[in-house]
Structure 1
Amino acid sequence: MRAACVLNWLWGVLFLSLAGCSLGESEYLGGNLNGVNHTSAAINYFKVNGYGGPNISPHGYGGGMCCVMLPREWRPGLMMKVEWETDPDPYAKSPPLGTDEFRKFMVKHKANYEHHTAIVPLPPYEQGLCALEVHFLPCHQVKVTTACWGYGSPKNPIKEPLEMKEPAECPK
């Protein structure tokens, strides 16, 4: 009799654990977070809605960072908060690593880092999110896409050239 109670209890636990798995799909999808830097400044790091992305060299690519979460179904009005830090002089000549001169240099160099924030619309996407690709443009402008084709593909909707120059004056 006692064995039957234990067996019934085990079946009950198994049933409840399986029932928990069938509560439906998550409201969010996870995708890779990629970046394309169209500027001459280095991107030290970036975040989208709090999810961290990689550093990106000037006029370069970075990505494959997992993961950014987006709603399973796109709806009008979805906005993304993009935050990033730039190094406007990424190729500055520095003293040898590990020296006092290098540490002093880095204190001065880091004082020139810039922090930026942009709120950008998330373009429509179909189910089956591939990735979120963030494009950093001159004048601290940002565009995002969820296209399944990487930058440079004819099917990618962002067509700005990789090596863009900063204008003498940015529009307000």
Structure 2
Amino acid sequence: MMRIGKVLRSLVLGGLLIISGCSQANSDGYTAGDLRGVNHTEQGINHFSVNGYGGSLSGNTCCVMLPNKWYQGMQAKIEWETDPKTAPPFPGYQDRDKYEAWEKQVTGSFQQHSTVVVIPAYDKERCGMTVHFLTCNRVKVTTVCEGFGTPNYPIKEPLHMKEPATCPK
């Protein structure tokens, strides 16, 4: 019973730390906001980060810190991992050696990417950051509050874009 109490206390404290990380609004001239991702490609995006803050393609993730006031030349470092889906089909779990060989092929095919992008101007109203992953390992970001696909949303590229035979340099 004593052990369960310690585990429960650790979980509660950990949860409070996570929550407090996102509630640090106006901490040293920065405000926390949600971090979202939109994949426009046929590749899988395994994970990504903006200036070291982890993001999600499956909804909002807390948090990315943005300065309260936008400034000219503001940039963000985006890092992400893609799955080009070049591995053979899943062999099942019955034969452990085949499964482990397959798993090694899958993870060995993952590709790491990194780029620095300019953050578009924003005023007081901003809603975190949305990172759009485009073909040819290009990335666009926005801080607008409208949702993707709405008339005023600044990024217009469609979803499920096919990778071109050659990418511009």
- Superposition misfits of 4+ residues, deviation over 2 angstroms: 97-100
Letter in 2 for 1:46: F
Provide the C-alpha distance between the structure 2 equivalents of 1:90 and 1:29, rounded to a whole number of angstroms: 40
Residue 107 of structure 1 corresponds to 104
CA shift in 2, pair 1:91/1:153, >3 Å: farther
1:91, distance to aligned residue in structure 2 (A): 8.3
User: CA offsets per residue over residues 50-108 of structure 1, 9 Å max, x none?
Assistant: 00012xxxxxx533000000111000010010000000007852122473321210101
Contact preservation (8 Å) 1:95, 1:102: yes
Summarize the alignment of residues 1-172 of structure 1 with structure 2, pairs less than 5 Å apart.
26-54=28-56, 61-89=57-85, 92-97=88-93, 99-172=96-169
Query: TM-score, length-normalised on structure 1?
Result: 0.78
User: CA offsets per residue over residues 119-161 of structure 1, 9 Å max, x none?
Assistant: 1000011113212000000000000000101111111100001
Gap regions ≥5 residues in structure 2:
1-25
Provide the C-alpha distance between the structure 1 equivalents of 2:78 and 2:59, rounded to a whole number of angstroms: 15
Residue 18 of structure 1 corresponds to none
CA shift in 2, pair 1:78/1:97, >3 Å: farther
Provide the C-alpha distance between the structure 2 equivalents of 1:137 and 1:26, rounded to a whole number of angstroms: 33
Query: TM-score, length-normalised on structure 2?
Result: 0.79
SS at match of 2:122: coil
Instruction: Tell me the number of residue pairs that the alignment of Structure 1 and Structure 2 aligns.
Output: 143
Provide the C-alpha distance between the structure 1 equivalents of 2:67 and 2:93, rounded to a whole number of angstroms: 44
Contact preservation (8 Å) 2:87, 2:109: no
SS at match of 1:111: helix
Provide the C-alpha distance between the structure 1 equivalents of 2:114 and 2:30, rounded to a whole number of angstroms: 24
Provide the C-alpha distance between the structure 2 equivalents of 1:80 and 1:165, rounded to a whole number of angstroms: 26
Provide the C-alpha distance between the structure 1 equivalents of 2:53 and 2:30, rounded to a whole number of angstroms: 14
Superposed CA RMSD? 1.8
Gap regions ≥5 residues in structure 1:
1-23, 55-60
Contact preservation (8 Å) 2:86, 2:109: no
Contact preservation (8 Å) 2:88, 2:102: no
Provide the C-alpha distance between the structure 2 equivalents of 1:153 and 1:136, rounded to a whole number of angstroms: 18
Q: Which has the larger radius of gyration?
A: 1
